[in-house]
Amino acid sequence: AQSVTQLGSHVSVSEGALVLLRCNYSSSVPPYLFWYVQYPNQGLQLLLKYTSAATLVKGINGFEAEFKKSETSFHLTKPSAHMSDAAEYFCAVSDNQAGTALIFGKGTTLSVSS
Amino acid sequence: DVKVTQSSRYLVKRTGEKVFLECVQDMDHENMFWYRQDPGLGLRLIYFSYDVKMKEKGDIPEGYSVSREKKERFSLILESASTNQTSMYLCASSFSGAQDTGELFFGEGSRLTVL
């Protein structure tokens, strides 16, 4: 059975600092991995996804994530945080790229201070 | 743009009331979902539907039912609301089959408070 663990329920950074949000997965088959973002008072939207085409995946708003099979990780990064990045971020895993099979992590809230 | 619309953003109901949460999508998606979002617990799947009149239980279906009479509309029903159902409810939709890329399109959520 798949599972996903997001390390750190809350991450705080200063504007301009590196953003690193951690996600580790457990899957018995090659996984499909996703990051979703939820801005305040909104639903979730897809940030980026890994589907085996490339280990480094670029998403919207300058975010990227790297799939590391040896570490079973899919950490999300952004070189320079912006105030508008403050949101909740969810990592999700699926074993078949189907939306019906997505398993979400518990989420990480990112705070950005000026 | 895909639009998933949840009819009520905020609701306050009393214990024992029947509650309907409505969701409509305009992209002709086959799949529709209801999730519950609670702090520290992330998103938990209540029910999903892959076609009209078809439904599958998710991880936490107890106390809920759903209805999908038309492709674009998916309703979540709380037959007798209880205080432990106070939560944020998120509706989502997606393509199915070969068009399913794993991307879900979410509504803005319905925050339900049961007193």
Model confidence pLDDT, tens digit, residues A20-63? 999 999 877 778 899 999 999 889 999 999 877 788 999 999 99
Q: How far is CA A44 from CA A41, A52, A55, B70, B84, in A?
A: 10, 23, 23, 24, 23
Higher per-residue confidence, A26 vs B72: B72
Summarize chain B as % helix, strand, coil (round to 5).
Answer: 5, 55, 40
Scan residues 44-63 of A and list those with Cβ closer than 8 Å to B: 44-46, 49, 51
Chain B interface test: which of A44, A52, A94 (most B C-beta within 10 Å): A44
Task: Collect all residues of chain A within an 8 Å Cβ-Cβ radius of residue B94.
Answer: 99-100
User: In 10 A of CB A98, how many CB atoms?
Assistant: 18
- How far apart are the C-alpha atoms of B107 and B110, rounded to whole Å? 9
In the predicted model, what is the mean pLDDT of residues B84-101? 88
The verdict on a CB contact (< 8 Å) between A43 and B107 is yes
Q: What is the pLDDT of residue A29?
A: 74
Residues of A in contact with B102 (CB under 8 A): 32, 34, 49, 51, 94, 97-99, 102
Q: What is the per-residue pLDDT for A2?
A: 79
Angle, CA of B95, B62 and B106, to the nearest 5°: 30
Closest residue to B106, CB basis, from A44, A94, A98: A44
- Cβ contact (<8 Å) for A106 and B41? yes
**Contacts with B78 (C-beta within 8 Å, 6 or more apart), sequence order:** B18, B19, B21, B63, B64, B85, B112
pLDDT of residue A32: 87
- The partner residue sitting opposite A97, judged by closest CB among B4, B102, B107, is B102
Would you place residue B58 in the very low, low, confident or very high pLDDT band (cuts 50, 70, 90)? very high
Note the pLDDT tens digit of each residue in B28-51: 999 999 999 999 899 999 999 999
The answer to whether the CB atoms of A106 and B107 lie below 8 A apart is no
B109·A42 Cβ contact <8 A: yes
